[in-house]
Amino acid sequence: MENKTKFNIWYILMAVWGILLLQNLIFSQFRPKVIPYSEFMQAVMEDKVIEIAIAKDRIHGKMKDEEGGEILFTTVRVDTDLSDALTEHNVKFSGEVENTLFKTILSWVLPVLLFFGVWYFLMQRMQAGQVGMMQFGKNKAKIIGEKDIETRFDDVAGADEAKEELQEIVSFLKQPQDYVAIGGQMPRGVLLVGPPGTGKTLIARAVAGEAGVPFFSISGSEFVEMFVGMGAARVRDLFVQAREKAPCIIFIDELDALGKARGAGMMGGHDEREQTLNQLLVEMDGFDPSNGIIIMSATNRPEVLDPALLRSGRFDRQVLIDRPDINGRLAILKIHAKRIKLAEDVDLSVIAQKTPGFSGADLANALNEAALLAVRKKKQTVGIEELDEAVDRIIGGLEKKNRVINPKEKKIVAYHEVGHALTAVLTPGTDPVHKISIIPRGLAALGYTQQRPTEDRYLMSYEELLSKIDVLLGGRVAEKIMFNSATTGAGNDLMRATDIARAMVAEYGMGETLGLSTYPRQRTPVFLQTDQPFGGAREYSEATAARLDEEIKALLDQREQHVRDMLTDHKEALIRIAERLLEKEVIYEDEFKSLI
């Protein structure tokens, strides 16, 4: 469309130029003869001039030629006195005729060019609008050629089990005939589930890179538009393009934006999202997996997906991409550390121990923050101090050294944090204390105590849960011992301790009221953190709820008394460490142990 439009415009411009040249040739014979002014004066003397018209700069008229005929002439006017003087001295003179051909052509061409320029601009805008309307039904997938994908399995760390599961997909895309010969079929869809930032999109690109096939990448939200039917059209167009480039991988990120359970919306089964989902289900049933088309999707909310998506024959293989363990975190740190200049004494295994629960994205962010801090301090390499500070910044927020806190509140915060730390070190089975700080961080944290796990834990015993409650209550108990009063600073600690106690009684079967009966909390996202409190539809009587509340309160009171007795026995150490913390504001593990 666009090339054709340009072709017509050039032909029109050529026609305009042709008309102007033809006009110049045809009418040239009817143009008046330009003569010098002296020749005009001579003709006047000889009575050859028949009539004239005098203008400001020119004289036009009719005169007799040598053969007795009449011709039109024009001459440039010359000053009369000057012409008389020149005539007396026999000087031949004439007026200079200005060449106006270029001006004449320009006066024609410029308006024509301006007109066609405006017309061409409007046509382009109209065509762009028409193309935009036509593109509504086109998919918005980013198509990455097999030669442009540089990601490999070696670039993905901390997900060894997932890579082993997906190795079959790579093998099938490379040599599908081996599976066809034995009668086997690869899964039509692979669903990658896991918390945010764990590398689901990265591992999908790695599969395409290892297999050497094109990679169609699109987000689930890009299918749905305000116009009815556009999402379904995009799904159809996506699969048409995929069939043309097979073998290939179709990757749909954030599948929950498209694949939520039908009927859950306010508009029932007639809204655009559900029509798009229906079309996706139909397309997944309609293509032959032996063609080499693999559909991969990623989500961190598998609990909201439509059951029809997860049945056999569609997304029949689910691969968990979980937060890495300590070995995985160390491998991820090594990969991202390749682009950062680390000091020789940096031990990444220490950082891996300090970052339980960190995803791959969090670890990459920690290394990047450490590099920025090193540049800010005018250092040439990133040291362990910058890495520690970067981890603390991600966990607790930005350090606010300039926040002014009155001495009384600062003293309360110091005893509160030392109460946490001292309880942790005196309680068996808790993680060792790595750092105590009374420098404010983030929005509300006036201080914090950091513990460093020595290993990843997946199960917790009854005693270990009690130890967690003890450490959480240590700050408030220290305030009560030293100041005989309590502050609002322990609000979050009390909420977390209450949640653990309630979970022990109502979920884990560790209480006396319910025994082995459990009433878990309302259904919450599997991989997304939420601050939703314990609650939901209660499935027990008011009498049972009252007994639960009594048992939870009794458990918390018991642990508070236990922590009070423990800190009272070590009151001297509590005071000594708190006074040292008020002086230095930050105490690390070695100094803390020496003060105990």
List, by residue number, the catalytic residues.
417
Task: Report the alpha-carbon distance of residue 315 to residue 295 in Å, rounded.
Answer: 8
Whether the ω angle into residue 432 lies within 30 degrees of 0, i.e. cis, is no
Q: Is 521 exposed, middle or buried (0-12, 13-18, 19+ CB in 10 A)?
A: middle
Amino acid (one-letter) located at 79: D
Beta bridge partners, 588, equal 435
> Who contacts 122 (Cβ-Cβ below 8 Å, separation ≥6)?
none
Task: Report the alpha-carbon distance of residue 361 to residue 300 in Å, rounded.
Answer: 15
Q: Which helix (H) or strand (E) holds 335?
A: helix 326-336
Q: Is 325 helix (H, G, I), strand (E, B) or coil?
A: coil
Closest CA to 435 of 342, 444, 425, 443: 425
Task: Report the alpha-carbon distance of residue 7 to residue 13 in Å, rounded.
Answer: 10
Closest CA to 231 of 222, 221, 239, 223: 223
Q: Nearest 5 degrees, angle CA 73-CA 75-CA 80?
A: 135
Q: Nearest 5 degrees, angle CA 326-CA 457-CA 367?
A: 30
* Alpha carbon of residue 220 to chain centroid: 14
| Residue 563: how many other CB atoms lie within 10 Å | 27
Buried b (16+ CB within 10 A) or exposed e, 100-123: eeeeeeeeeeeeeeeeeeeeeeee
Closest CA to 195 of 298, 300, 297: 300
- Spell out the long-range contacts of 545-553 with Cβ–Cβ below 8 A and sequence spacing 24 or more: 547/513, 548/502, 548/505, 548/506, 548/511, 548/513, 548/514, 550/513, 551/505, 551/511, 551/512, 551/513, 552/498, 552/501, 552/502, 552/505
* Alpha carbon of residue 132 to chain centroid: 24
- Strands 433-437, 586-588: parallel, antiparallel or unpaired by DSSP? antiparallel
Measured in degrees and rounded to the nearest 5, phi and psi for residue 537 equal -70, 115
